Amino acid sequence: MTEVSRVIDAPPDAVFAVLADGWLYAGWVVGSSHIRDVEADWPAVGARIHHSVGPWPLHIQDETVVTAVEPGLSLSLEARGWPIGAAAVALTLVPHGDGKTLVRMTEHIVGGPGKVLPAALQSLLIKPRNTESLARLADLATGKHARTQSGHPRP
């Protein structure tokens, strides 16, 4: 299992608000290139985001499904990108000082050809991507939070 973490300058509810908006998924998940649909009950357990993975025109159409959720605290997903495989991804949000959040993101491959890769090689591939994903999540969460705090919430 590969883990990365980052302190985000926004409270857990603001970070979770980004995770709870399935239409923002491609904005923070590296590799996801297009959102085709988000089921209305996202992020409830079993809800799906239908997305494309990879660059156009070589993208693969697949989906990500919620496997567990504790609103404001955690979100667990099974992210699929066949024929490459599927991964279990967990994001945990922990209050960290005044108005900040420590986000821990774990991932491990649970299906497909990638599952046969040694753990060290999986980590070499996953860690940089997830570090960038958390940087993007931080930008979205801090930007949306600052806009809300300034009294100019996005319509």
- Structural domains of the chain, count: 1
Domain residue limits at 28: 2-148
**CATH code of 114's domain:** 3.30.530.20
pLDDT at 122 over 90: no
What are the tens digits of pLDDT across the range 33-65? 889 999 999 999 999 999 988 777 878 888 999
What are the tens digits of pLDDT across the range 90-107? 999 999 989 999 999 999
On whether residue 23 sits in a domain, the answer given is yes
pTM: 0.90
Contacts of 89 (CB under 8 A, 6+ apart): 76, 77, 78, 79, 105, 106, 107
Lowest mean pLDDT among 24-28, 38-42, 120-124: 120-124
On whether residue 140 sits in a domain, the answer given is yes
Question: Around Cβ 151, how many Cβ atoms within 10 Å?
Answer: 6
